[in-house]
Amino acid sequence: MPDTIPEFSVKIAETEEELRAAQALRYEVFVRELGGQGPLVDHSAGLEQDRFDPFFDHMLVTDEAKGIVVGVYRLLRDDQAARAGQFYSEDEYDLSRLKASGRRLLELGRSCLHRDYRGGMAMFHLWSGLADYVDQHRIEILFGVASFHGTDPRALANSLSMLHHNHLAPPELRVRSKLFQSMNLMQEVDLNRKQAMVETPALIKAYLRLGGFVGEGAFIDQMFNTTDVCLILDTARMNDRQRRIYTGGNSRR
């Protein structure tokens, strides 16, 4: 943990310098730690970037005591996606059901925390900032891909099958993987639920606690060395307890 008491601030990046700080943290996590790649990754400058960055809003959590960005979230509203020509995750998932819903959509991606700030208050500030953003833009459905490390679905059979059997999105929100990898790899009766939850990344578990769902099928991302699932959160379906968690106890709706 940090050797000084963090003083967190949350904002949307406004300058090229702030965007580069987000891309530098993404490089540390997605490239150095997880072995990801990409056609626009700049190894010499230590930046993880892609062609979608100019269209997204980039939320930054900064430890003001140290002057460093320690958390980032990439946010794409449906109006921004129209300018980009697509949502980022449309390369992996058929989003036609979400796009046909007529509801305000927000795609989330590239969420990460500096290794020294995981398990602490930085994630709380990231989620609180996201809740403010959702309220400001009147977002109704949040979605985006989240990743398991590795590309062998058999090694993830417990977790993927648990998601399939217990957290599959309702039909009207059920997006489907384009390069379909079934998540129904084990019968429900054979699941080791404790192991499944232990092996499920914290971000995915956070969405599940808020009442989130997953789309149908996983996507194997060889470039990023991950197995991706599509998470969907319908704010209208959240109960009071979930809403309090999501808003940090501040009722916004």
| 137-152 pLDDT tens trace | 999 999 999 889 888 9
Distance of CA 50 to the CA centre of its chain: 16
In whole angstroms, how far apart are CA 10 and each of 13, 20, 67, 125, 172? 9, 16, 12, 7, 34
| 212-249 pLDDT tens trace | 999 999 999 888 888 999 999 998 876 666 666 555 54
How confident is the model at residue 41, as a pLDDT? 83
Backbone angles phi, psi at 66, to 5 degrees: -110, -10
The predicted model scores a pTM of 0.85
- Report how far residue 72's alpha carbon sits from residue 88's, in angstroms, rounded to the nearest whole number: 17
- Report how far residue 161's alpha carbon sits from residue 193's, in angstroms, rounded to the nearest whole number: 10
For residue 201, pLDDT over 90 is answered with no
Cβ 70 vs Cβ 117: under 8 Å: yes
How confident is the model at residue 252, as a pLDDT? 39
Distance of CA 213 to the CA centre of its chain: 13
How confident is the model at residue 119, as a pLDDT? 78
Most distant CA pair in the chain, distance: 52
Residue 73: pLDDT band (50, 70, 90) is: very high
What is the percent of the chain where pLDDT is above 90? 57
How confident is the model at residue 245, as a pLDDT? 58
End-to-end Cα separation, the chain, in angstroms: 35
Mean pLDDT for 192-218 is: 88
Decide: residue 187, CB within 10 A, 0-12 exposed, 13-18 middle, 19+ buried. Answer: exposed
Mean pLDDT for 92-119 is: 91
How confident is the model at residue 194, as a pLDDT? 87
Residue 46: pLDDT band (50, 70, 90) is: very high
How confident is the model at residue 253, as a pLDDT? 35
Mean pLDDT of the chain: 88
How confident is the model at residue 238, as a pLDDT? 67
- Report how far residue 45's alpha carbon sits from residue 10's, in angstroms, rounded to the nearest whole number: 25
Q: What is the CA radius of gyration of the chain?
A: 18
Structure tokens at 38: 């990409």
Mean pLDDT for 163-180 is: 93
- Bridge partner list, 12: 59
- Report how far residue 220's alpha carbon sits from residue 73's, in angstroms, rounded to the nearest whole number: 22
How confident is the model at residue 120, as a pLDDT? 78
How confident is the model at residue 251, as a pLDDT? 43
| 86-105 pLDDT tens trace | 999 999 999 999 999 889 99
For residue 47, pLDDT over 70 is answered with yes
